[in-house]
Amino acid sequence: MGRPREFDEDEVLERAMSLFWAQGYEATTMSHLLQATGLAKGSLYQAFGDKERLFLKALRRYLERGRQDLRNCLSRADSGYEGLRSWLLENARPTLAQGVRTGCMAVNSAVELAPHNAEVRKILRDHERSMEKLYEECIARGVADRSLASTVDPRSGARWMSTTTYGLQVRAKLGMSHDHGRETVEQALCSIAAA
Amino acid sequence: MGRPREFDEDEVLERAMSLFWAQGYEATTMSHLLQATGLAKGSLYQAFGDKERLFLKALRRYLERGRQDLRNCLSRADSGYEGLRSWLLENARPTLAQGVRTGCMAVNSAVELAPHNAEVRKILRDHERSMEKLYEECIARGVADRSLASTVDPRSGARWMSTTTYGLQVRAKLGMSHDHGRETVEQALCSIAAA
DNA sequence: TTTTTTCTTGACCGATCGGTCGCAAATGAC
DNA sequence: GTCATTTGCGACCGATCGGTCAAGAAAAAA
Question: Is the CB of residue B4 inside 7 Å of nucleic acid strand D?
Answer: yes
pLDDT at A2: 82
The CA distance from B105 to B18, in Å, is 9
pLDDT at A164: 98
What residues of chain B lie within 8 A of the CB of A110, using their CB? 170, 173-174
Summarised one tens digit per residue, pLDDT across range B88-142 is 999 999 999 999 999 999 999 999 999 999 999 999 999 999 999 999 999 999 9
Mean pLDDT of B134-158: 98
3-state secondary structure of A92: coil
Nearest CA in chain B to A97: B115
Question: B44 with B54: CB under 8 angstroms?
Answer: yes
pLDDT at B195: 84
Summarised one tens digit per residue, pLDDT across range A56-92 is 999 999 999 999 999 999 999 999 999 999 999 999 9
Summarised one tens digit per residue, pLDDT across range B4-32 is 999 999 999 999 999 999 999 999 999 99
Residue A55 has pLDDT above 80, yes or no: yes
Q: How confident is the model at residue B149 (pLDDT cuts 50, 70, 90)?
A: very high
pLDDT at B84: 98
* Alpha-carbon distance B35 to nearest alpha carbon in chain A (angstroms): 20
The CA distance from B171 to A92, in Å, is 18
Single-letter code of the amino acid located at A4: P
Q: What is the pTM of this model?
A: 0.97
Question: Is the CB of residue A156 inside 7 Å of nucleic acid strand C?
Answer: no
Pick from B176, B159, B92, B174: which is nearest to A92 by CA?
Answer: B159
Residue A1 has pLDDT above 80, yes or no: no
Residue B148, beta-bridge partner list: B193
Q: How confident is the model at residue A104 (pLDDT cuts 50, 70, 90)?
A: very high
Q: What is the mean pLDDT of chain A?
A: 97
Question: A114 with A121: CB under 8 angstroms?
Answer: yes
Output the distance from B25 CA to D4 C1' rounded to whole Å.
39
The CA distance from B141 to B121, in Å, is 30
Q: What is the mean pLDDT of chain B?
A: 97
Report, in ranges, which bases of strand C sit under 7 Å from a protein C-beta.
4-12, 16-22, 25-29
Mean pLDDT of A5-23: 97
Output the distance from A38 CA to C5 C1' rounded to whole Å.
24
Q: How confident is the model at residue B1 (pLDDT cuts 50, 70, 90)?
A: confident
Question: Is the CB of residue A23 inside 7 Å of nucleic acid strand D?
Answer: no
Pick from A26, A56, A48, A169: which is nearest to A123 by CA?
Answer: A56
Q: Among A61-65, A97-101, B80-84, B161-165, whose mean pLDDT is lowest?
A: A97-101
> Quick one: B60 exposed, middle or buried, by C-beta within 10 A (0-12, 13-18, 19+)?
middle
Instruction: Report the Cα B107 to chain-centroid distance in Å.
Output: 7
* Helix runs in chain B, H state only: 9-23, 30-37, 41-48, 51-76, 80-92, 105-112, 118-144, 154-173, 178-189
Residue A117 has pLDDT above 80, yes or no: yes
Residue B142: HSE in the Cβ half-sphere, 13 Å Cα cutoff: 30
Question: Is the CB of residue B29 inside 7 Å of nucleic acid strand C?
Answer: yes
* Alpha-carbon distance B4 to nearest alpha carbon in chain A (angstroms): 38
